[in-house]
């Protein structure tokens, strides 16, 4: 979330919000007659640790009449778009004050590219809209200024209240073209926020907007995990007097409880299946089990004395990383789901926990306890090589979670004193606070949004 | 050949049988303790005042308070019971065995360092370790339940080593 966007930051809690009903948005292609090759754009290589931010110009959109709420919407739309792209940390949004071209006088379909390369823009987004009552018609185009060609062109029609949705869809297309991954701007984050009566589960949009309370049991609720289709949340709750695993449907709130003695903790959904893994201690020792989406045990996945907790699956579901104390201290192991063989991958430090497997399949992010005290987020290859530290000497940084496209990491940090949710790029750049609510926020888990 | 099998079969029944009688013997030796407390009671009964005089009453109350207030502490990331912990647990075992109608919940807690889920697991290990130790001292397992609160209910929220040490505890609550 860009700090300058604070004025627009809605912190109102919407209790029991019914699922957002998307208005009907018509999308059309804007064809310029110029062919552009697909997948030729390597502007953003998120695997490059020395990534340079791509300078992009997003002038205010052109409004048909030039006045009233239409002109306002033209400005809002452009700001929304810059905020959304700036969120990723991969773009340098150029200052509108330096622009040579005046929005209202420009040709949005055929811009004068020299006017943009002069101010340093490599990419340009132009927009034009007309607003009749609440009916919005908006054209958005992405250009490569140096190669002087249009990359994406879309026309959106719908209700003006769906402006944010339209902008996000366009940004999704931009990210898809430039990084090969989409879905970031439709994704949601489930997290915990503390209040006077305990800790409850909340969900917000990828950018921290629209926080919605999911649990209302006024108890202690922990470690939420949202299913990949965005429809279910599993979490640990003391609502029945002890730490039990709950699985809740987000739309109708029906809940299944894993009713076993001992505790049920650290749920993690299996990619592509209505199944999850969690650590249960009913056998007398915490082990990781595979469960159906309604909480029935399918089988046991780990078998070693001592704590086994915090499973996370590779995107193809063939491997599982988890935390085990079988070697004497909590370390991260990778288990082959077919053979059942587990291998330790962390050897630095004596407290490595909370692994999360990247949706791109190659890396695991986790929390490491430093020798001097203090927790930091680290990255390691799934083969145990290439260990890297992402946060430094700023409070406790824990609970990392990948965005569904693998381009960003959400985590909790106490660098300001109170625990808040932060985001950063996949290489640890651009660390900033996502949002702020009363109480302490923790344990974010990032998931694709509901697919519609 | 059949005879050998018969002998082995007989051994299979006799040996466990012997072991059972041995443990029964253990139970017999436990009884003298109960006998001792009975004589204490009768001594009290012989006193001129009501069955429990004020001194005994406050002593009993103090013992009960101590049972609930005195926590067992642990080292960081550990569920091991050191000498101090064991001494405290021996005390508690004594109290429970003198108060056979009491039932307790043993809560396991952690300091704030360490991740949420791992600490719920560690807290449970601590509570279970305390319970196992008490069972070994003769407290019936049925009288004790365990629950972990991980790092969710610290005694002291200061970010100091002293506070952390206080928070790493097994805490006894009477039901």
Q: What is the pLDDT along chain A (452 residues), one digit of tens a residue?
A: 333 333 333 333 333 333 344 457 777 777 544 334 344 456 666 666 667 889 999 999 999 988 889 999 999 999 999 999 998 888 999 999 999 888 888 899 999 999 999 999 999 999 999 999 899 999 999 999 999 999 999 999 999 999 999 999 999 999 889 888 788 888 999 999 998 889 999 999 999 989 999 999 999 999 999 998 889 999 999 999 999 999 999 999 999 999 899 999 999 999 999 999 999 999 999 999 999 999 999 999 999 998 999 999 999 999 999 999 999 999 999 999 999 999 999 999 999 999 999 999 999 999 999 888 889 999 999 999 999 999 997 899 999 999 998 889 999 999 999 999 999 999 898 899 999 999 999 999 999 866 54
Whole-number Å distance between alpha carbons of A345 and A383:
7
Angle at A62 between CA A56 and CA A65, to 5 degrees: 170
Reference A36, options A125, A123, A150; nearest CA is A150
Reference A305, options A289, A286, A322; nearest CA is A286
Enumerate the residues of chain A whose CB falls inside 8 A of the CB of residue B116.
222-223, 399, 442-443
Q: Which one of B114, B120, B147 has the shortest CB-CB distance to A236?
A: B120
pLDDT digits (tens, 9 = 90+) for B107-162: 999 998 888 999 999 999 999 999 999 999 999 999 999 999 999 999 999 989 99
CB contact under 8 A, B147 and A242: yes
Residue B122 touches partner A, C-beta closer than 8 Å: yes
Residue B18 touches partner A, C-beta closer than 8 Å: no
pLDDT at B39 over 90: no
Q: What was the pLDDT predicted at A178?
A: 87
Q: How many CB atoms lie within 10 A of CB B61?
A: 10
Q: Which one of B125, B149, B152 has the shortest CB-CB distance to A307?
A: B125
Q: Which one of B125, B128, B148 has the shortest CB-CB distance to A243?
A: B148
CB contact under 8 A, B125 and A243: no
CB contact under 8 A, B116 and A373: no
Q: What was the pLDDT predicted at A38?
A: 41
Enumerate the residues of chain A whose CB falls inside 8 A of the CB of residue B115.
310, 353-354, 367, 375, 398-399
Q: Are A247 and A295 in contact (CB under 8 A)?
A: yes
Enumerate the residues of chain A whose CB falls inside 8 A of the CB of residue B129.
none
pTM: 0.81
Q: Which one of B115, B121, B150 has the shortest CB-CB distance to A367?
A: B115
Enumerate the residues of chain A whose CB falls inside 8 A of the CB of residue B121.
263, 265, 279, 281, 286, 307, 309
Reference A153, options A113, A110, A122; nearest CA is A110
**Which residue, among A220, A276, A281, would best test binding to B if mutated, counting the most B CBs under 10 Å from its CB?**
A281
**Chain A closest-CA separation from residue B117 CA (Å):** 6
Whole-number Å distance between alpha carbons of A324 and A343:
11
Q: Which domains does chain A have, with CATH numbers?
A: 3-179 (3.40.50.10070), 187-447 (2.120.10.30)
* A405, two tokens: 């496209």
Whole-number Å distance between alpha carbons of A322 and A398:
16
**Chain B closest-CA separation from residue A311 CA (Å):** 11
CB contact under 8 A, A310 and B116: no
* Average pLDDT value for residue range B69-90: 96
Residue B114 touches partner A, C-beta closer than 8 Å: yes
Rg (alpha carbons) of chain B, rounded to whole number: 22
Q: Which one of B77, B121, B149 has the shortest CB-CB distance to A265?
A: B121
Rg (alpha carbons) of chain A, rounded to whole number: 23
Residue A422 CB partners (closer than 8 Å, separation 6+): A397, A410, A411, A412, A413, A415, A431, A432, A433, A434
**Chain B closest-CA separation from residue A200 CA (Å):** 13
pLDDT at B31 over 60: no
Enumerate the residues of chain A whose CB falls inside 8 A of the CB of residue B106.
none
**Chain A closest-CA separation from residue B63 CA (Å):** 28
Residue A442 touches partner B, C-beta closer than 8 Å: yes
Range from A317-321, B52-56, B62-66 carrying the lowest mean pLDDT: B52-56
**Chain B closest-CA separation from residue A352 CA (Å):** 9
Its ipTM equals 0.81
Enumerate the residues of chain B whose CB falls inside 8 A of the CB of residue A355.
none
CB contact under 8 A, A286 and B115: no
Q: What was the pLDDT predicted at A448?
A: 82
Whole-number Å distance between alpha carbons of A215 and A411:
21
Range from A173-177, B14-18, B44-48 carrying the lowest mean pLDDT: B44-48
Whole-number Å distance between alpha carbons of A150 and A124:
9
Q: Which one of B118, B128, B150 has the shortest CB-CB distance to A323?
A: B118
Q: What was the pLDDT predicted at A250?
A: 94
Angle at B29 between CA B87 and CA B129, to 5 degrees: 35
Residue B159 touches partner A, C-beta closer than 8 Å: no
Q: Are A355 and A312 in contact (CB under 8 A)?
A: yes
Residue B118 touches partner A, C-beta closer than 8 Å: yes
Stated as kind and residue range, the H or E segment containing B174 is strand B169-174
pLDDT digits (tens, 9 = 90+) for B98-109: 999 999 999 999
Q: What is the DSSP string of B11-68?
A: HHHHHHHHHHHHHHHHHHHHHHHHHHHHHHHHHHHHSSS-SS-HHHHHHHHHHHHHHH
CB contact under 8 A, B118 and A330: yes
Q: Which one of B116, B121, B147 has the shortest CB-CB distance to A286?
A: B121
Q: What was the pLDDT predicted at A35?
A: 37
Residue B108 touches partner A, C-beta closer than 8 Å: no
Q: What was the pLDDT predicted at B109?
A: 98
Q: Are A77 and A129 in contact (CB under 8 A)?
A: yes
Phi, psi of B162 (to 5 degrees): -65, -40
Q: Which one of A222, A236, A263 has the shortest CB-CB distance to B124?
A: A263
Q: Which one of A242, A310, A443 has the shortest CB-CB distance to B118?
A: A310
CB contact under 8 A, B116 and A330: no
């Amino acid at each position: 979330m860009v700090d300058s966007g604070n004025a627009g930051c809605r912190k109102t809690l919407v209790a029991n919000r019914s699922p957002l009903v998307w208005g009907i948005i018509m999308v059309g292609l804007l064809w310029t007659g110029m062919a552009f090759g697909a997948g030729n754009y390597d502007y953003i290589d998120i695997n490059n640790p020395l990534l340079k931010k791509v300078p992009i110009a997003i002038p205010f959109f052109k409004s048909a009449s030039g006045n009233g709420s239409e002109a306002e919407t033209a400005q809002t739309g452009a700001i929304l778009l810059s905020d959304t792209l700036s969120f990723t940390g991969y773009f340098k949004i150029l200052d509108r004050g330096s622009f040579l071209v005046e929005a209202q006088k420009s040709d949005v379909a055929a811009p004068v590219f020299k006017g943009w390369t002069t101010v340093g823009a490599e990419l340009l987004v132009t927009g034009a809209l007309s607003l009749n009552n609440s009916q919005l018609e908006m054209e958005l185009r992405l250009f490569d200024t140096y190669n002087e060609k249009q990359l994406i062109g879309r026309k959106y029609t719908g209700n003006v209240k769906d402006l944010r949705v339209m902008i996000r869809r366009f940004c999704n297309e931009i990210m898809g073209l430039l990084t090969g991954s989409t879905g970031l701007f439709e994704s949601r984050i489930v997290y915990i926020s503390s209040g006077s009566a305990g800790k409850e589960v909340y969900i917000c949009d990828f950018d921290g907007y629209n926080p919605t309370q999911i649990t209302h049991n006024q108890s202690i609720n922990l470690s939420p995990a949202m299913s990949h289709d965005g429809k279910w949340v599993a979490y640990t709750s003391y609502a029945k007097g002890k730490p039990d695993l709950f699985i809740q449907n987000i739309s109708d709130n029906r809940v299944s409880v894993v009713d076993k003695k001992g505790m049920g903790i650290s749920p993690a959904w299996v990619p592509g299946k209505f199944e999850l893994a969690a650590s249960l201690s009913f056998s007398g020792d915490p082990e990781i089990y595979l469960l159906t989406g309604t909480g029935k045990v399918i089988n046991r996945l780990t078998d070693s004395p001592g704590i086994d907790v915090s499973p996370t699956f590779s995107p193809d579901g063939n491997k599982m990383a988890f935390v085990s104390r079988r070697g004497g201290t909590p370390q991260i192991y990778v288990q082959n789901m077919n053979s059942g063989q587990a291998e330790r991958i962390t050897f630095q430090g004596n407290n490595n926990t909370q692994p999360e497997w990247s949706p791109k399949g190659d890396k695991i992010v986790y929390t490491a306890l430093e020798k001097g005290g203090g927790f930091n987020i680290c990255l390691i290859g799934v083969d145990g090589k290439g260990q890297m530290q992402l946060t430094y000497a700023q409070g406790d940084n824990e609970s990392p979670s990948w965005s569904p496209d693998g381009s960003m990491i959400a985590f909790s940090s106490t660098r300001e004193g109170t625990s808040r949710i932060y985001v950063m790029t996949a290489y640890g750049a651009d660390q900033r606070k996502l949002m702020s609510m009363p109480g302490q926020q923790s344990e974010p888990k990032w998931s694709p949004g509901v697919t519609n | 050949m059949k005879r050998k099998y018969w002998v082995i079969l007989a051994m299979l029944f006799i040996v466990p049988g012997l072991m059972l009688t041995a443990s029964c013997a253990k139970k017999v030796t436990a009884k003298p303790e109960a006998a001792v407390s009975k004589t204490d009671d009768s001594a009290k009964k012989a006193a001129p005042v009501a069955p429990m005089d004020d001194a005994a009453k406050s002593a009993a109350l103090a013992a009960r308070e101590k049972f609930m207030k005195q926590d067992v502490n642990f080292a960081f990331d550990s569920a091991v019971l050191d000498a101090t912990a064991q001494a405290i647990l021996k005390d508690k075992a004594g109290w429970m065995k003198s108060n056979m109608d009491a039932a307790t919940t043993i809560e396991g807690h952690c300091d704030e360092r360490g991740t949420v889920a791992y600490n719920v697991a560690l807290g449970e290990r601590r509570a279970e370790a305390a319970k196992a130790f008490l069972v070994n001292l003769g407290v019936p397992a049925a009288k004790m339940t365990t629950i972990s609160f991980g790092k969710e209910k610290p005694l002291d929220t200061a970010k100091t080593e002293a506070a952390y040490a206080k928070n790493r505890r097994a805490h006894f609550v009477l039901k």
